[in-house]
Structure 1
Amino acid sequence: MNTNQLRQDIIDYSQKIGIDKIGFASADIFEGLKQRLKRQQELGYQSGFEKGSVDERTEPARLLPEAKSIISIALAYPSRIKDGPKSTKEERRGVFCRASWGTDYHDVLREKLGKLETFIKARVPDANTKIMVDTGELSDRAVAERAGIGFSGKNTAIITPEFGSYVYLGELMTNIPFVPDTPLEDGCGSCRKCLDACPTGALVQGGQLNAQRCLAFLTQTKDFMPDEFRPKIGNFIYGFDTCQVVCPYNKQVDFHNHPEFEPEPDVAKPKLKPMLRVSNREFKETFGHIAGSWRGKKPLQRNALIALAHYKDKTAVDTIIVVMNEDPRPVIRGTAAWSLGKIGTDKAYAAIREAMEKESDEQVLTEMEKGLAFQEVSAT
């Protein structure tokens, strides 16, 4: 088997099936990453969404014992919505981060990698392979960095020379020993725009993220959002990508190479009030195909309530009162009460007081007290 010719054939085929960038890496242990991950654990900086142990996340042979190479791919996604809907005083809108526009990237990348896998096995029938996209044990970014797809920026994203950091990543492990690509040199230099723009200080230093303070992570949690972070998410209902937007490598970058990733304007920027009362079926029909739906509707509805508070949307008061009184979920009832207090109308405060008389959940009662505290502040 001529692996050099096969390597070139794979590159040529990847371009035919719409892969924007491809690179090859060795399947050696990611020693540097292993030490960083252990340090992250010690500091309590992990999100809890990580899959597998540190060893599984840094030793490819634990996932595919005969692994020799890892093929990394990148697909570019749009950074702008053409003719995007505007938020108005009557109909405020939330926003999903750019990485959740269009069809769920996990599905699209798995399809592309599946085609690569079929292509390889047609030429090497005894090839062993394993596909991973985001939810696998390996770090997509560490693989992409080793494969020369891009360098790891201070915002912890992979930054490509061609597409900035607006790329989705996936990989295919194999027992075929391909010649690896050369990693790119770091391109951040002394720039610290992402660190300065992070509203919570989640970027502790260049390339190190405290996920527990990252708004992108916090928008995906299902419990009450800590008070400190509520004013900072603005109208984001899923994800947060300011650290990418301010990056000089992303200036004027907007690729529309894949129809699957084209944002549906009313899905990427949904109206907030209807979201509060959406049924499970409506949620699945409207949002089920995008990456931002993976945690279900509860976090998004909680964030929608926070966004309405951010806007001080008085037109939403009646709807939020119904949510506070009728929703069976304490996190939603409590956040609704807090939101009403933040919006701050007389009707909102009266509704909170009335609801407190029949509320039994201690956490919800605490949120109601927080809501009423806004009245005291505004009166001083």
Structure 2
Amino acid sequence: MNYSEFKKDIIAYSKTIGIDKIGFTTPNPFTEMKNLLIRQEELDYQSGFEEKDIEKRVNPSLLFNQPRSIISIALAYPSKMKEAPRSKEGERRGIFCRASWGTDYHVVLRDRLQKLETYILSRVPDARMKSMVDTGELVDRAVAERAGVGWSGKNCSIITPEFGSYVYLGEMITNLPFAPDEPMQEGCGTCNKCVDVCPTGALIQGGQLDAKRCIAFLTQTKGFLPDEFRGKIGNRLYGCDTCQTVCPKNKGIDVHHHIEMEPDPEIAKPLLLPLLTMSNREFNETYGHVSGSWRGKKPIQRNAILALAHFKERAAVEVLIHLLKTDPRPVIRGTAAWALGKIGGKEAYEALKLYREKEQDQEVVGEIEKGLRFFDPELAER
């Protein structure tokens, strides 16, 4: 087998199945990434969603017997929504980040990787491969960077010259001796916009992220959102795009190559109030195909309540009182209480006073107290 020619054939085939970029690299350990991950762990900057064993994240040999190469792929996704509905008083809307538009990207990338595996096996029947999307052990970004797909930006995303950072990544470890591609030169230069505008200061410095402060992480947690972040979440239901939207390398980039990634505006930018009374079945039928649904409906509903508080949406008061009164989940009752205080008005004030006496859960009582502190009792009648 002439692996130089075979590599060219794979690159050509990849374009026919909707892979936007492809690169090849060695299976050597990712030493720089290992050092970075150790430092992140020491600083307690990890989210907790990652693979716990750092060695598995950086050493392909621990995941695959005698690897000889890694193939990295990237698929570009849209940055703009066609005919996006407007959020207005009485009909407030939340937003899912771009990485949760359309079909769950794990599904899309696995499809492309599976097709690539099938093609390779048709040419080399005894080939061995192991494919991963970002739930796998390896750090996608480290693989893509070394394979020349893009450079690792200060916003901790891979930035490609063609598609900016609006790309999904996946990789395939193989036992085939493909020649590695050259990594790209770093392209951020002196630009520091992503670090400067990060809403929570999660980007400590270029390339270093405190994941526990990142809104993308916070929107996926299931407990009470810490007070310091409640005013910063805005109307985000899942994820955050700020460090991408401000990036000059993303200016003017909007790629619509993949029909599966096209957003349904009513799902990507949904009305907030209907979310609050949605059953598990309704939620799964409506949102189950998007990546932002993976943690279930509770984080999304909690974030929707915070978004209504952000808008000070008075049309939500009745529903929020109903949640405070009847919802079995303390996080939802408590967040509703806080939001009622934020929105204000006599009806909200009276409800908080009433349920302060009735509530049994002490965390929820604490949230009711926070809600009441938003009021000046003398003004509550106005």
TM-score normalised over the length of structure 2: 0.98
Q: Deviations over 1:44-87 (max 9, x none)?
A: 00000002400000000000021111100000000011110000
Quick check: 1:275 aligned with 2:275? yes
Match of 1:110 in 2: 110
Q: Deviations over 1:220-270 (max 9, x none)?
A: 000000000010010001001100000000101100000000000000000
Distance 2:379 2:210 in 1: 37
Quick check: 1:266 aligned with 2:252? no
Match of 2:287 in 1: 287
Match of 1:41 in 2: 41
CA 1:45–1:377: 2 relative to 1, 3 Å? farther
What secondary structure is seen at the aligned counterpart in 1 of 2:375? helix
Distance 2:324 2:302 in 1: 12
Quick check: 1:7 aligned with 2:20? no
Match of 2:58 in 1: 58
What secondary structure is seen at the aligned counterpart in 2 of 1:357? helix
Q: Superposed, which structure 2 residues align to 1:161-310 within 5 Å?
A: 161-310=161-310
1:103 alignment partner AA? T
Contact persistence 1:103–1:290 (CA under 8 A) = yes
Distance 2:327 2:69 in 1: 51
Quick check: 1:135 aligned with 2:135? yes
Q: Deviations over 1:124-152 (max 9, x none)?
A: 11111101001000011110001111000
Match of 1:345 in 2: 345
**Mean alpha-carbon deviation: is it higher for 349-358 or for 76-85?**
349-358
What secondary structure is seen at the aligned counterpart in 1 of 2:36? helix
Contact persistence 1:69–1:176 (CA under 8 A) = yes
Match of 2:96 in 1: 96
What secondary structure is seen at the aligned counterpart in 1 of 2:333? helix
2:328 alignment partner AA? P
In the alignment, structure 1 segments of 5+ residues that lack a partner are none
Distance 1:93 1:377 in 2: 31
1:60 alignment partner AA? P
CA 1:28–1:378: 2 relative to 1, 3 Å? farther
1:75 alignment partner AA? L
Structure 1 consecutive aligned stretches of length 4 or more whose deviation exceeds 4 Å: 377-380
Shift of 1:377: 9.2
What secondary structure is seen at the aligned counterpart in 2 of 1:260? helix
Shift of 1:122: 1.3
Match of 2:153 in 1: 153
What secondary structure is seen at the aligned counterpart in 1 of 2:173? strand
Q: Deviations over 1:153-212 (max 9, x none)?
A: 000000000000000000111011110110000000100000111011110010000001
Match of 2:324 in 1: 324
2:36 alignment partner AA? R
What secondary structure is seen at the aligned counterpart in 1 of 2:358? coil
Q: CA RMSD in A?
A: 1.1
Shift of 1:99: 0.7
Contact persistence 1:52–1:137 (CA under 8 A) = no
Shift of 1:379: 5.4
Shift of 1:105: 0.3
Q: Deviations over 1:15-69 (max 9, x none)?
A: 0001101000110000000010000000000000002400000000000021111
Distance 2:25 2:179 in 1: 8
What secondary structure is seen at the aligned counterpart in 2 of 1:310? helix
Distance 2:377 2:160 in 1: 48
Shift of 1:378: 9.3
Quick check: 1:32 aligned with 2:43? no
Distance 1:82 1:244 in 2: 19
Match of 2:360 in 1: 360
Match of 1:70 in 2: 70
Distance 1:238 1:374 in 2: 27
Aligned-residue identity in percent = 63
TM-score normalised over the length of structure 1: 0.99
Match of 2:23 in 1: 23
The count of aligned residue pairs is: 380
Shift of 1:353: 1.2
In the alignment, structure 2 segments of 5+ residues that lack a partner are none
What secondary structure is seen at the aligned counterpart in 2 of 1:126? coil
Shift of 1:355: 1.3
CA 1:300–1:377: 2 relative to 1, 3 Å? farther
Distance 2:237 2:377 in 1: 27
Distance 1:9 1:362 in 2: 64
